[in-house]
Structure 1
Amino acid sequence: MADAASEELRADVLVVGAGPSGLMLAVCLAKLGVDVMIVDGKDGPTRESRALGVQARSMELYEQLGLVDRVLAERAPATGIVPGAGHRAFGRVEFRGIGKGISPYTEITVFEQSRNERLLVDALAESGREVRWRHRLERLEIVPGARADAASVIATLDGPDGATTVRARYCVGADGSHSAVRESLGIPFEGVTNAYTFYIVDAADVTGLVDESINMRFTEHHFLLAFPMGSGRVRLLGVVRDVDLDDAGRLPEQNVRSLVRHEFGVEYSEASWFTTYRVSHRLAARFRDGPCFIVGDAAHIHSPVGAQGMNTGLQEAHNLACALADVIVGGMPDRRLDRYEVERRPVGRTLVATTDRLFGQVTSESRFARFVRGRALPRLGPVVLLLLPRVLGGRIFGYVSQTRIHYRMSPRDAGRRDPVVGRRLQWTGSNYDVLRSMAWQVHGYGVYEPEVQAIADSLGLEAHAFPPDPFGRLDPSLVYLVRPDGFVAAAASAIAVPGGPPAFREQLAG
């Protein structure tokens, strides 16, 4: 609310940037009872389609926020992936098959960035808040506090009515790859820019591809990814070499049209959006600086191969919002916020390294890479396609869907990867509805309900007793401490002890 005497606005959290990450952060904070203000220099949500794929883990977040039905009503489903060589597809992998039992959302949901943003803007409005559009960050100052954890920020914004000052306890930069927040903090953004030119075409009346599927095609010198967008539209995405550019070093849309027709047998009538850019792979040196944080493209950028970028930003925002609410509303110590960088920066580092390596492999001009793409793949691809889903199907789905992410919940976790603790709660078919409260909870699966209730009561938490896990992953002799973000923070014996299990108390202490 505004302070009339000083003409200064105040908030618990100032979010700079109203793309998918910033909006997810603001929606979650509002739901969790945090006084949040979100600003953006644009005049409204993105109009271009931009990022497309919403992975299973992000769909689970939308379910937790009560928004998933809106996504499902407007999405274009991608039910499988169809690889191929040149003009020919050589098989199909069904997402439903390899994702069975892992998540209720076994497809890649094609729901373009502009729609994600409108969905979240509407959800924010329903919470009684709105984005302050046309407010650009001009200056950010960290104000030291009496304690190291009591610093705050003062932000100067340039708005339609002149300068505005905002004082906030915390500030989050969700303002993209050229983040003013990150640059104000002097956080290095190290990495490389690829030499090749990427193109994106949102095309209509496309022929030569398998419908309702992600098509992936290779030739000796090129690759093509195609995503269904619904209403007869398809996203075409690929890389071109210098020889494909015109004399001025540019890539006209007509050149792309000719290239995809010649290399892949794909034709289309018109393009509703066409853009080119150079791909960068960069990771911020840190995700937190005192009372300031960065999320999404402000923290990492990479190739769009794999449809991971927007999803990673949404999940970072969700993670950080829950941590901020634990401190601001729940009264946990400020050190609880250190977990954001500890948990999320390794995910960003792995993502950047993986996409960089994958992008390098599919664009390499080495003799071996050309041989694989041009000769080996057409012959061996159908065989590999038969074997790979059977051997690694669930693991592949877990990586792509971002349901395999693992956090170290305690220093004692070093050197071991628990199959449950540190991961998002395993889906059993009936246990995700209770996560909508976004509260700390105690869960038991096949545990006597009064025991679950007694342990939860001793800690002042919600209790939820479920039937045994039909997939056998959740131990019926244990109870699990589940965080508001849906991750399992600890496990303990299902025997009540005074004050609750020590591992639970440790996590609740921040």
Structure 2
Amino acid sequence: MTAPAAGTGDARTVLVVGAGPVGLTAVCELVRQGARVRLVDALPEPTDQSRAVVVHPRTQEHLAAMGVLDRLEARALAITALELRAGREATLRVHATTAEVDSRFPRILDLAQPETEAFLTALAGELGITVERGTSLDGLDQDDDGVTVTLTSPTGTTRHRYGWVVGTDGGHSRVRAAVGTRLEGVFSGRHFLFADVAAEGAPSADTIRMYLHPDGIGGAFPMPGGRLRLLFLVGAPAPGARPTLEQTQRLVAERMGGAWRLDDPRWLTYFEVHHGQVPQYRSGRVLLAGDAAHVHSPAAGQGMNTGVQDAVNLAWKLALVSTGRAAPELLDTYQAERHPVGARVVRLTSTLTDVMSADGTLAHLRDLALSVLGHVPAAGEQLVSAMTETTIAYRGSPAVTGLAGGRRHASPGDHAPDVPGLITADGAQAWIGDLLRRPGFLLLTTTGDPAVLDRLRSALGALGSVVPVVATAAGAPADALVDPAGAVAHRYGTGAAGLALIRPDGYVGYLSAGSDDRAVTEYLTDLLHVQPQPA
């Protein structure tokens, strides 16, 4: 056997394995936050299967900070309602645009995964990263100083040395196998038929519809161009069997009462639901995200969204560590924050699948409960908030601290709330979320004391930017947010002289009713293991 050829490598570079939405997000965020990155993928070409079609509000917030949301929403279909139907009538209908969906983007976007990947690939290219396709990871060895990987590409097999490896290579992750960990959970059970089809005569395209039928659930997810993503619970298919358009058309008629004419199938497949999660997202210098770390039912469209948010949480931390601005202990907070989220998603999607797949007496009780919920708007709104992932928070994380808000205002670990009514010093509309397009931390402060502002800027240094929040534009610094109604002070609980330190992933790291620069330094050094950089 010929030994792998010696290859190039850089112990300061992060190798990302897997160029789906999760890997592409990780790469873009790593580069935006200052890291060196290489991206490889075993597939010779991007997938042409529609796969994940749902982009939830919290993911849209991250995409907006990355500067790519406007491109995606120009091609996507906006979904503003969710219906559950038992029979021909809507048992429960909830609008995603309610106040309970606490986001600047209170809608769901539906778009086929290849298009989402194309936008992220274009952004990666603008950041100087090219996907190296047809390149697979065949093994890795790590020590205290780095990771040696074996990669096979069309030009041969080589060994390379990197500082860190991120596995975003899906449910059959080679990275996961190489570090000797595995998914723990349930790996057999219900089977679904998926179809991506054109649908003539389908109902309005602003609503996701789930049909509760005695023979099994059905789901209809509108997509751009008059297409539908359909799913149906089915019996276990025979080995090697493939679904057909005729079978799909029959299921639409039987379970949805739909006279829609299906055509042009771009994707027809069977899918067996698995539920599992790795015990540790970090194994030394190797980290897992997305389906490499957790797999679950496609119910509620959580998969890609959870993976993208894994990547956003990890990327800013790994960027600081890989560039020597923070100690590796910071990466332990990735496990602390994201593993519980993954576990909740596995439980939620498993429960939803069980509830929607119930039969007999249990199905009757389910339909009765949904009918009751249909008359309790708050309950339906809370369900949508959970499904759209806007309730995700890291309260209690070792990477957050400060003034607790409860229900009165934001708390450390919450996603930084955006508030309407803000303007720039020159009168243009402004959003806190848009300020996150700047790399690094964002420190909002309601103090107007120039000396305090200087000390805060010195404490944060090159790790981010300090933005004063003022009541009037008269005499305001050019980089200030003007907040005539005091909405920021109220929503964040900072009062007239406090501060909110927002992490690069958009979550509140430190919150205070005062503006003590020493407390900011202590948060960065003691909790995040970061050394502030001179501006």
TM-score when normalising by structure 2: 0.85
Contact 1:452 1:479 in 2 (8 A): no
Map residues 1-400 of structure 1 onto 2, 5 A cutoff.
6-10=6-10, 12-90=13-91, 92-99=93-100, 102-142=102-142, 144-145=143-144, 151-207=145-201, 209-241=203-235, 251-266=243-258, 267-270=260-263, 271-329=265-323, 331-365=325-359, 367-372=360-365, 376-377=367-368, 381-387=370-376, 389-391=377-379, 393=381, 395-400=382-387
| Contact 2:405–2:493 (CA under 8 A) maintained in structure 1 | no
The alpha-carbon distance between structure 1 residues 447 and 88, as it changes in their structure 2 partners (threshold 3 A), is same
Shift of 1:456: 3.6
| 1:420 aligned partner | 411
Return 5+ residue gaps in structure 2 as ranges. Answer: 421-430, 470-482, 531-535
- 1:45 Cα deviation (Å)? 1.6
Aligned CA distance change for structure 1 residues 295 and 499 (closer, same or farther; 3 Å): closer
* Displacement of 1:69: 0.8
Q: 1:331, CA displacement in angstroms?
A: 1.2
Name the residue aligned to 1:476. 494
How far apart are the structure 1 equivalents of 2:178 and 2:100? 42
Equivalences for 1:395-410 in 2 at 5 Å?
395-407=382-394, 408-410=396-398
Q: 1:305 to 1:6 in 2, by over 3 A?
A: closer
Q: Residue 148 of structure 1 aligns with which residue?
A: none
Counterparts in 2 of 1:457 and 1:392: CA distance versus 1, 3 Å: farther
Distance 1:18 1:499 in 2: 39
Secondary structure (helix, strand or coil) at the match of 1:424 reads coil
Distance 1:56 1:180, change over 3 A: same
Deviation at 1:386, TM superposition (A): 3.2
In 1, the alpha carbon distance for the partners of 2:108 and 2:336 equals 28
Distance 1:476 1:74, change over 3 A: same
**TM-score, structure 1 as length reference:** 0.89
Output one character per residue of 1:311-349: Cα deviation in whole Å (capped at 9) or x when no partner. 111111111110011112361111111111111111111
Q: Distance in 2 between matches of 1:64 and 1:232?
A: 30
For residue 185 of structure 1, report the CA deviation from its aligned partner: 0.8
2:423 is aligned to: none
SS in 1 for 2:436: helix
Q: Residues of 2 paired with 1:207 and 1:370: CA distance?
A: 29
Alpha-carbon displacement from aligned partner over 1:70-112 (angstroms, at most 9, x marks no partner) = 0111101112112222233356322112456x21111101122
How many pairs were matched up?
488
Farther off after superposition, 178-187 or 451-460: 451-460
Could you tell me how far apart the structure 1 residues matched to 2:441 and 2:399 are?
Answer: 21
* Cα distance in 1 for residues equivalent to 2:57 and 2:20: 20
CA distance in 1, matches of 2:502, 2:167: 27
CA distance in structure 2 between the partners assigned to 1:396 and 1:13 by the alignment: 38
| Counterpart-to-counterpart distance in 1, 2:399 and 2:60 | 31
2:516 corresponds, among 489, 492, 496, to 496
1:458-509 Cα deviation digits (max 9, x unpaired): 3425211232226943113231121111111112232435574644553353
Deviations 1:427-485 (A, max 9, x none): 113211211112123213x4436445543433425211232226943113231121111
Distance 1:133 1:354 in 2: 35
**1:157 Cα deviation (Å)?**
1.0
Which shows bigger deviation, 211-220 or 405-414?
A: 405-414
SS in 1 for 2:9: strand
Residues 379-430 of structure 1 show CA distances to partners (whole Å, capped at 9, x for unaligned) of: x64552231x33562x33432222222223339979x995420121111132
Partner of 1:448: 448
Q: SS at 1:273's partner residue?
A: strand
Q: Pick closer, same or farther for the CA change 1:363–1:59 going to 2, 3 Å.
A: same
The CA deviation at 1:26 is 0.9
What CA distance in whole angstroms lies between the structure 1 residues aligned with 2:292 and 2:327? 26
Cα RMSD over matched residues? 2.6
| Code of the aligned partner of 1:386 | H
Contact map agreement 2:7 2:160 (CA 8 A) in 1: no
Matches of 1:182 and 1:98, distance apart in 2: 40
Structure 1 unaligned residues grouped into runs of 5+: 146-150
SS across alignment from 1:18: coil
* Aligned AA (2:288): I
8 Å CA contact 1:409–1:490 kept in 2: the answer is no
Whole-angstrom CA distance in 2 between matches of 1:59 and 1:288: 26
User: Aligned to 1:96, what secondary structure does the other structure show?
Assistant: coil
